[in-house]
Structures are given as structure tokens and as C-alpha cells.
């Protein structure tokens, strides 16, 4: 009884305690709010701090991954090399040639792009080019030879196996500039549904000094990964000529690049699904080592187009134009000794003349003027044909 009496009738002391309790509760709440605010501020600062730590990041290329788990990097631009660490989850993703971002402390923060980045700078890669044989005028004989040497080993390997012949290993196309060498290589890749990987020999030695041999190795690595593939080395004379064109230094480097190319070719199976093509307009300058059996052992000349070929090329390149009273056979006769590229230029110029006249169609006179214009440019270019 007594107890219940005390609980119902609050003494002044009780009241005081209750008020104090309320006050304390309010303080706790306030502190909680404060903590929440601080937590927010903290994470904000943390984010900013991270941001500050991260920016700017340097870009480097992985040269090698050592057994110790350290990563050997080369910084792009200044070519500085160093060893650094990467987190365990990154290590398995790293491969030589991969591009990575490193922070101020030079540790690897992340992987950027895919591993082809450094190669794509120099290699032109097309899944399957859109050029087909129908886009090539004339050159029937050449196309036939190239198909046998490059396309059929990819598309009908069983025939070679059945008969027991080895397809040629490397095919060298040679001919004047603009005769359609690159065009043919692309068309073969298209027809064989192969990846077309082009590398320019002159870029290799002039633009990527010091990297030539490495890039050649990557070229063949990429081809194997993307097989069936056609590797096309344009202007191979820049890499493999006996005499250096400009007499500049760096020939040791060029030599190294060529040795790498030879080594890659020697290590290749003739019957594989990677075919190797090269082009040059200076076949006379090529190092004989390149032309030995098992290397570029099939040499195919790309001639200037004959009259029939020129007519076809004219038809191909004027195919989309509105023509009015143009006898292409006549133009064929006027373009003797012209290359495919020059005939294409004639068509383009003729079209431009009609555009300038604001005409509805391209006329005979446009073509005649275009022929003269292209011929004059050729003379001033100091080239050898009429």
C-alpha cells in the first residue's frame, strides 16, 4: 500500500530527477545529431582526400610482371622505367603491353583500356574489310595468284593438305604507287572473312623509334589472337632494305626490327590461319634475307592497268556519277600509263568540275579537263610517266 502511494504521489525530488532525465535525453539526441553531421563531413573529406590522392594519375605501360609479384613499368612519354607494386586483384589482369594508371607513389591504381591500346596506335585493324574483288578493276591474273596464295590456304586448307603442297608463307606485292596493292590485300581479307591487320613499315621505323622489334612481335601476337587473319606489312622496304634511303642513323634499330620480323616468320606454320602479305614499290632494294624460301617466297607484281583494266577502273569510280554523253573508252585511251589511283583521281576531278559548273551531270569535257589536270600534276610531281 505504502509503495503504491509513493509511486503515485511524486515528491519534488522525483520531479527534479525527471526533468534532469529529460534534459539528458535531449543532450544525447543532440550529440547523436552532431555525430551524424560529423560522420557526413568525414566521409565528404575522405572522398575529397581520395580524389586529391588520385589526381593526377600517370599512364604507364606494363613491360613485364616479375615472379616476385612486382610489376616492371615504363612510363609513356619520358620512357622512365621502374618497378612497382599492384594489388592482388589487379595482378592477374596485367599483361605485358597493358596500359595502367599509377599514382604519385607510382603504385598501380587501375588498368585502363584493353591490352591492345599500345598496338592500335600503329596497327590498323579491320574485322573484315568491305572492299571486294568487284571493287578492283583489271588485275584478274594478279587476283587469281593472290587468291591461290592467300585466300585458299585460309578457306580451303584441306585441298592443300590433300594434295600435299605447302602454301607459300609470305606474299610480296610489288608495283608502282597507286596500282592497288593495299586494295588487293584488303579484298582478300574480305573474301576470306579474315581480320585485316595492317602495319606500315615506314611508320614502324620513323614514328616508333626504339619500339620496332616489340611492335613486330605484338603484330604477330595480335594476328594469332584474331585468326583467321591477314597481316599486311605496307612499305616493307622501310624495314628491310639493304641500303638506307636517307643514310640516317638508326639503321641498327631498323636491323633489329627486321630480324624480329624474320624470326616471327620463321616461327610460323605455312598452313596456319594467319597469312602474311607485304607490299613495296622498291623490290630491288629489299634485303635478300627477306626473300628467301620460308619468308616472302611468292613475289607478285602488280602491273599498270591495261586498256581493259583502265576501262573497268573508270567504270568503278564513275559508277555513282551522273554521266551525260561520256564515252569511257575514249577516256581509257587518254589515260595510258596511268595507275588505278590516278584514274580514280581523274574521275574525282571530273566530278568536281561538274560540281563547279553547277551542272546536272558530268560531261565529256569534264573528263578531258580532268585528264589534263591529273597529267599535269603528275609532271610537276616529277614522276616518270607521260
Ligand X SMILES: Nc1ncnc2c1ncn2[C@@H]1O[C@H](COP(=O)(O)OP(=O)(O)OP(=O)(O)O)[C@@H](O)[C@H]1O
Q: Which residues in this chain contact ligand X in the complex, by CB under 6 A?
A: 136-139, 175, 177-183, 279, 281, 305, 313, 316, 340-341, 344
The binding track of 124-163 with respect to Mg ion, each residue x by CB under 5 A or -, is ----------------------------------------
Please identify, using beta-carbon distances, which residue of 176 and 195 lies nearer to Mg ion: 176
Cβ-contact 229, 274 below 8 angstroms: yes
Burial environment of residue 183 by CB neighbours within 10 A (0 to 12, 13 to 18, 19 or more): buried
Query: Does 182 interact with Mg ion (rule: CB under 5 A)?
Result: yes
Region of 98-106, 132-140, 178-186, 295-303 interacting with Mg ion (CB under 5 A): 178-186
- Angstrom distances, CA of residue 235 to CA of 142, 147, 173, 195: 19, 21, 10, 20
* Nearer of residues 182 and 332 to Mg ion, judged by Cβ: 182
Using CB under 5 A as the binding rule, whether residue 318 contacts Mg ion is answered as no
- Picked from ligand X, Mg ion, none, the partner binding residue 138 (CB below 5 to 8 A depending on kind) is ligand X
In the bound state with ligand X, the residue whose beta carbon lies nearer, of 136 and 254, is 136
Rounded Cα distance between 153 and 141, Å, is 18
Residue 200, interface with Mg ion (CB under 5 A)?
Answer: no
**Residue 351: which of Mg ion, ligand X, none does it interact with, CB under 5 to 8 A by kind?**
none
Which among 170, 173, 175 is positioned nearest to 297, based on CA atoms? 170
Please state the closest distance from residue 204 (CB atom) to ligand X, in A: 15
C-beta closer to Mg ion: residue 340 or 351: 340
Stretch that binds Mg ion, among 17-25, 135-143, 179-187, 318-326 (CB under 5 A): 179-187
How many Å apart are CA 142 and CA 256, to the nearest integer?
A: 32
> Between residues 175 and 272, which has the closer beta carbon with respect to ligand X?
175
DSSP secondary-structure letter at 93? G
Q: How far is CA 86 from CA 4, 39, 59, 74, in A?
A: 72, 31, 14, 14
What CA–CA distance (Å, rounded) separates 241 from 266? 19
Instruction: Work out how close the CB of 236 gets to ligand X at its nearest, in angstroms, rounded to a whole number.
Output: 11
Q: How many CB atoms lie within 10 A of CB 304?
A: 18
CA distance 328 to 157: 41
Amino acid at each position: 500500500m505504502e509503495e503504491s502511494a509513493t509511486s503515485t504521489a511524486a515528491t519534488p525530488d522525483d520531479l527534479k530527477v525527471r526533468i534532469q532525465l529529460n534534459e539528458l535525453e535531449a543532450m544525447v539526441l543532440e550529440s547523436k545529431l552532431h555525430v551524424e553531421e560529423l560522420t557526413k563531413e568525414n566521409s565528404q573529406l575522405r572522398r575529397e582526400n581520395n580524389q586529391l590522392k588520385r589526381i593526377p594519375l600517370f599512364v604507364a605501360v606494363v613491360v613485364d610482371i616479375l615472379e616476385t609479384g612486382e610489376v616492371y613499368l615504363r612510363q609513356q612519354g619520358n620512357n622512365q622505367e621502374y618497378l612497382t607494386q599492384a594489388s592482388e586483384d589487379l595482378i592477374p589482369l596485367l599483361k605485358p603491353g597493358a596500359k595502367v594508371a599509377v599514382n604519385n607513389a607510382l603504385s598501380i591504381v587501375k588498368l585502363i583500356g584493353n591490352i591492345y591500346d599500345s598496338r592500335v596506335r600503329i596497327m590498323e585493324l579491320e574485322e573484315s574489310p568491305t572492299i571486294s574483288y568487284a571493287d578492283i578493276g583489271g588485275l584478274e591474273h594478279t587476283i587469281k595468284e593472290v587468291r591461290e596464295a592467300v585466300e585458299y590456304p585460309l578457306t580451303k586448307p584441306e585441298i592443300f593438305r590433300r594434295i600435299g603442297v605447302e602454301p607459300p608463307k609470305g606474299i610480296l606485292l610489288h608495283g608502282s604507287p597507286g596500282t592497288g596493292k593495299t586494295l588487293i590485300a584488303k579484298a582478300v581479307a574480305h573474301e576470306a572473312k579474315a581480320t585485316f591487320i595492317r602495319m606500315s613499315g615506314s611508320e614502324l621505323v620513323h614514328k616508333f623509334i626504339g619500339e620496332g622489334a616489340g611492335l613486330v612481335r605484338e603484330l604477330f601476337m595480335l594476328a594469332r589472337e584474331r585468326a583467321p587473319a591477314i597481316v599486311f606489312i605496307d612499305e616493307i622496304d622501310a624495314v628491310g632494305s639493304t641500303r638506307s634511303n636517307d643514310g640516317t642513323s638508326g639503321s641498327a634499330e631498323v636491323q633489329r626490327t627486321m630480324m624480329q620480323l624474320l624470326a616471327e616468320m620463321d616461327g610460323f606454320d605455312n598452313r596456319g590461319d594467319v597469312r602474311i602479305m607485304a607490299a613495296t614499290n622498291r623490290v630491288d632494294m629489299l634485303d635478300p634475307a627477306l626473300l628467301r624460301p620460308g619468308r616472302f617466297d611468292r613475289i607478285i607484281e602488280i602491273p599498270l592497268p591495261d586498256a581493259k583494266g583502265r576501262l573497268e577502273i573508270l567504270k568503278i569510280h564513275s559508277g555513282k556519277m551522273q554521266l551525260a554523253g561520256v564515252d569511257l573508252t575514249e577516256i581509257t585511251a587518254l589515260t595510258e600509263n596511268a595507275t588505278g589511283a590516278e584514274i580514280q583521281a581523274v574521275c574525282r576531278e571530273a566530278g568536281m568540275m561538274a560540281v563547279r559548273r553547277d551542272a546536272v551531270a558530268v560531261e565529256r569535257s569534264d573528263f578531258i579537263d580532268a585528264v589534263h589536270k591529273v597529267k599535269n600534276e603528275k609532271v610537276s610531281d616529277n614522276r616518270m610517266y607521260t
